[in-house]
Amino acid sequence: LSVSFATVAASTAAPAGRFVGLLALGTILLLLWRGNHLSPGLARGLVLALITADLLAAGAGRAPTAPADLAYPPTPTLDRLRQLESPARFLALTPEWRLDRHPVSVLPPNAATACGLDDVNGYDSLYTLRYKSFLNRLAGKETSPPANGNLVLFDAFQAAEFPLLACRYVLSLAPLTGDGLELLFDDGVKVYAVRGAYPRAYVAAAGEALRPGRPAAAIHSPAPTRVTVDLEGGTAGTLVLLDSFYPGWQARVDGVKTAVSPVHETFRGGRVGARAGRVEFYYRPGAFGLGLYLGLAALAGVVCVAVSGWVARTGTGRRA
């Protein structure tokens, strides 16, 4: 393995420059403090700020992400799922899951999330308790295997119940029967379309949140914490988004903030008017804002104490 000098120099230029800059700034702070131009409190505060900035600069980019294909290599099944209409939620059945032998499963846990796909099972340990309880009621039993209590895995499909999950497709290793299923592909893994599945977002009449009304014209999910729903004209009602509800989700209807409330315990809903055109759901928990304000207040307090100490020390030196 040969590495050119230019490659080594390019890779070390930024760390070397940061080290030289840190050394220069530290030397300046030391000289100012020794010359009684800085109070001990202000000097300590500036040193702390300098170290913090250096750590942030050194840590930036030190936790790179890896392509999903490295952990979950492309398969015909994943390619099929990527070709389906979007946004389309699916359910991959897992007939058996054990740790003492190879599990019988269509997809490994978390593969869908890592590949940017929308799976009913979600990502292990990152679903809410109310969502897990809802899935247990749908399945009529505990959905976590004894070997892994943090997973949600279904071994069967109940067509009468799953429309509520906006589940458009089911993946299975074994043939499935039922009037609500239509076989689309069979290349070792059978992909079925689910007839009668609820749209992921729809406007329901007052008091009928679980009965789909007019579907959304388009849904965009640019980030896990943001979903945009475009609507066409119609009657006023409740916009139901069949995604998990959690405190901290907020919404704007055509730029005007509106309340988000749970629908059927686990989904999101908000009132919209007949002329509503765009609804933006975004996650902004109150605790984050409170922590940010407290942090800024603490920082301002430290700066005030340091500056007041420097002013007092400077005034004492002049009087002396």
pLDDT of the residue at 161: 65
Is the pLDDT at 318 greater than 70? The verdict is no
Q: Which CATH class is domain 201-283?
A: mainly beta
Whole-structure pTM value: 0.72
Mean pLDDT for the stretch of residues 35-43: 80
Higher pLDDT, 53 or 182: 182
pLDDT of the residue at 49: 85
CB of 266 within 8 A of CB of 165?
no
CB of 247 within 8 A of CB of 260?
no
> Is 250 strand, coil or helix?
strand
Is the pLDDT at 150 greater than 70? The verdict is yes
Q: Which of these ranges, 7-11, 20-24, 142-146, has the smallest mean pLDDT?
A: 7-11
Binned at pLDDT 50, 70 and 90, residue 74 comes out as confident
Residue 102: partners with Cβ closer than 8 Å, 6 or more residues away = none
Higher pLDDT, 87 or 204: 204
Binned at pLDDT 50, 70 and 90, residue 1 comes out as very low
Is the pLDDT at 90 greater than 70? The verdict is yes
Structural domain boundaries in the chain:
14-59, 71-194, 201-283
Is the pLDDT at 5 greater than 70? The verdict is no
Binned at pLDDT 50, 70 and 90, residue 3 comes out as very low
Strand residues in 187-265 grouped as ranges (E) = 190-194, 201-204, 214-215, 218-223, 226-230, 237-244, 249-253, 256-258, 261-263
What's the CA gap between 127 and 136, in Å, rounded? 13
Question: Which tokens in the block code for residue 134?
Answer: 């809802």
Binned at pLDDT 50, 70 and 90, residue 12 comes out as low
Mean pLDDT for the stretch of residues 131-152: 86
pLDDT of the residue at 249: 94
Binned at pLDDT 50, 70 and 90, residue 20 comes out as confident
pLDDT of the residue at 320: 52
pLDDT of the residue at 215: 83
> Is 306 strand, coil or helix?
helix
Mean pLDDT for the stretch of residues 218-247: 87
